[in-house]
Amino acid sequence: MEEMKTFRLNFVKQEKHLLLPTVTSIIVAQNLYEILFQYVITPEKEQSLQKFIHLLETHIKSKPKAPFSVPLPELEFLDEGLQELKLLNWMEVPVSVFEISLDTDENNYESELEKTLEFLQNFMTLNRKKDSNHIYVYPVGLPKH
């Protein structure tokens, strides 16, 4: 087994997320776009919806071990569309945000971070927050995707 570098998990905060129900197909993202498009009436909101759908498609294509979720404030642009998501079995869940601190030099940081994330996935359900050293840690008992 490869030696692990020392790391620390620092609790940052807890957020309310909307969690995608268990899915098996990218078709869900396409159908979701059609359903939610009716709630998007400005070009800015349409751009936000396209970004959300892209994140969802990327997540599904990656065949993840953890669920897909988005902080509720990032979905406020949907207005009544949030209720539509809940009717489609999306759940509000508390998600803990942790920062990972590694004792390594900058040249190896990204590869060491990936090793650390793989190690932590053996003990908790998590997703990395895009382009950061923060992770979302999900409550015990949620279905893995």
Q: For the chain, give the DSSP string.
A: -PPPPPEEEEEEEEEEEEEPPP---THHHHHHHHHHHTT--SHHHHHHHHHHHHHHHHHHHT--SS--EEEGGGGGGGTTHHHHHHHTT-EEEEEEEEEEEE-S-GGGHHHHHHHHHHHHTTTS-EEEPTTSSEEEEPPTTPPP-
> What is the domain extent for residue 104?
7-137
Percent of the chain topping pLDDT 70: 91
Q: What is the pLDDT of residues 37-74, one digit of tens each?
A: 888 888 999 899 999 988 888 888 887 778 889 999 99
Q: Is residue 144 part of a domain?
A: no
Domain count, the chain: 1
Supply the pTM of this predicted model: 0.80
Q: Is residue 64 part of a domain?
A: yes
